[in-house]
Structure 1
Amino acid sequence: MEKNKIKVVELFAGVGGFRLGLEKAGNYEVVWSNQWEPSTKAQHASWVYEARFGKENHSNENIETVIEKNFEDIPDHDLLVGGFPCQDYSVATTLKNSKGVVGKKGILWWSIYNIINKKERKPKYLFFENVDRLLKSPASQRGRDFALMLESLNQLGYAVEWRVINAADYGMPQRRRRVFFLGYHKSTKAYQRIKNQSKEEWISKTGVIANAFPIQENLNTGFNQFKLDNDVTVISDEFNKGGKKSLFENTGIMIGGEVKTMKTYPKYDGKRIVLRDIVLNKKVEDEFYIDNGDEEKWNYLKGAKKEIRKSKSGHEYHYAEGGMVFPDALNKPSRTIITGEGGKSPSRFKHVIETKYGLRRLTPVELEKLNMFPENHTKLDGISDTKRAFFMGNALVVGVIENIGKELYKKVNL
């Protein structure tokens, strides 16, 4: 590929975290994006996306409808990206005449698959993000969902590498652990390099993720190695049935259906951003401060508990949970932001910090900064602070995308 911009299609775009990271990395151009929230009439995330990046080439329509009825709207592209929802990925059926996999409707992984499958000019690269439990779900067949994805991508001609990355391990301001995986089509030089060199070398030293996020050497925990069944229905029904733990470690690679995976540990000695560096050093709006009358409720929810509770049916049971640091430690990266972060009501999981003006919740700008978004990226008429917090609970840490984007571009142009 010439040294020009990599053309990107962004799926499940949310408020544009992938786009922000790739644009910061440089040399990437989003040529089409899609964001659709199925459960609501008001498309808040899409409004923010359009306000920041423009309406041109942005689709606010159910992606399955686009694929079925307006597939030509999706332009050819070099890189397909998206943070897709974690769902039940089991396969409904495969087509006998080898047109590929047919997954259950409404399962958005199969929308990704269908776009790649229908494209004559397949994207050279794939870059996806998901919660790290993807590697070990569902509980009855640990790792089956990820195995299904890997084999479906293998059948489309891709090698795939993955790593579970906690942003805080590399100096970023939030403890947010997610799995990131990259696909390389067999037509690319990167695929050939993976094919011809040591797989361990690629995922520990020379590959894209290894360069973006180095790992400790001399902690080689040994490879787990296995071959995926080339029938996805067999994987769906049989993969790791009865297995107590997943076959997938936090780092690995798949090429030609052969999987090699190993446990790795982060290596980082650079600057670290902590919650104190993010917090606004001024008095914020009154609504963010904890009312004195609510403090007892906050203390109870954040505290350790051993108590007898009653279920709806009247059954009594013992309930126990450990205490949480309250208020949140300012000298460490923040805990993971969740979608219920906004609103005044006391909660075990919302962040509360101590300031000279009193105990308070985090503001939307602080939540944006914890995900390394520009300040007020989600500020828009008609968007509440609670909704802005919800966006950040769903978002990714932009710095992770930026680092991987930079290293991917280097590999593309080798």
Structure 2
Amino acid sequence: MEKKINAMLYLIKIDFSLIQKTMKNNSDCCLNFIKLIKDYKIPILGTFNTILKRIHEGSKPENELMKIITPSNDFNQYLKFLLINNFDYRCEIDDFKESSLENNFRIYLREIQSKISIIFFIGIFFPIGLCFLILFQILNLVILIILIPFFLYFLNLLCRKFVKRHTYLMGILKEYSSSEKKKFNEFLLFLNSFAINLKNNISPETAFLKTYEQNKNLFVVLKSTIKNQIFSLLNFKLSFHDMIQFFKLELKSIRYNVILDAIEKFIGENANYSSEKIFEIINIVHKHQKLEKKLDIIIKGEKFKIFFFIFLLPLLIGAISGMLPFFLLITRNSTSIGSIISIDHNNLINIYYIFTIFLVFISSISITSSNFLKIINFQKKVLVIFISNLIFILTFLISFINILNFI
């Protein structure tokens, strides 16, 4: 709940500064702030509905707001600041302090390398540890098979907790594919050009059309989406509101929806000043993207290490696991007479046991490789996992055949 409130607080601050700028009567600022929060439908909506009801019953808005304590410290501080200044403070984007979301992301950046190292350690030493546990006959087949889904769950859990981007920052994408990044950058380009055109005191519809004409050669991912809206607009099939709604449906993302809803709201409040507020949103997004670039640098730094381990691990595990059945055979069937060791060759190697060992280790290597590749957001995971497994299979067979010939 706190993160959702903090995420929307950026837009609330910008929106309220627009209201302050356009209002003729400053005495209504407090009431307008309450109505503004009600429009944003954040988790504290119920509280503000209750306040609005009490105001209609005769309560003073300022007194009601003073009683509010929300789950978000950022929101509480902002509200307190407005109350102290009688809602007359003209909040500019440069005056915004770093939010708790941004602070948390900076902490995440400082911790991520250590967390990735933990994942490396578990991902690499789990299969190696299995080798030794099997060698010393500590594990039987049943426990060995049970450990694989546990390993899958545990490593996935670590990746989700340690590496996954749990952020509500507007400028940082959860889906980190190159196409999604390109789509988001094109969206920002569109907004920037749209705001510039709005600044020339033209209608939103005209600004939308001009934006497309000026940048149509730069749009790749969004070209068809914007073109469809332009076609409908030119044929008088859609109003600006309808166009925004269809635009949101095409983009299919809460992040885009929130920004587009805010922009539509700004334009509805005051089209002349809305361009400034769109620029402020873009500035916030760019600020967040700078944080994201720092994360990119860290992740790229781990890429070589990840590929090194992905291809080293199957070589190591394949060589050891290929010899395990024979080590176990020797351990179980050998009798020591002085310095002479004799092996009962009549006790054949259990094919089922060999297959189980092979299956367990190829599964653990696949799990490790998959989770390692998630860390660097690698797109062609199937190909790399296939190559890694192929290396394991070849190494396992070579090791198995060599030890078989030796015996």
* TM-score normalised by structure 2 residue count: 0.24
Higher helix share: 2
* Higher CA-based Rg: 2
Greater relative contact order (CA < 8 Å, ≥ 6 in sequence): 2
* TM-score normalised by structure 1 residue count: 0.24
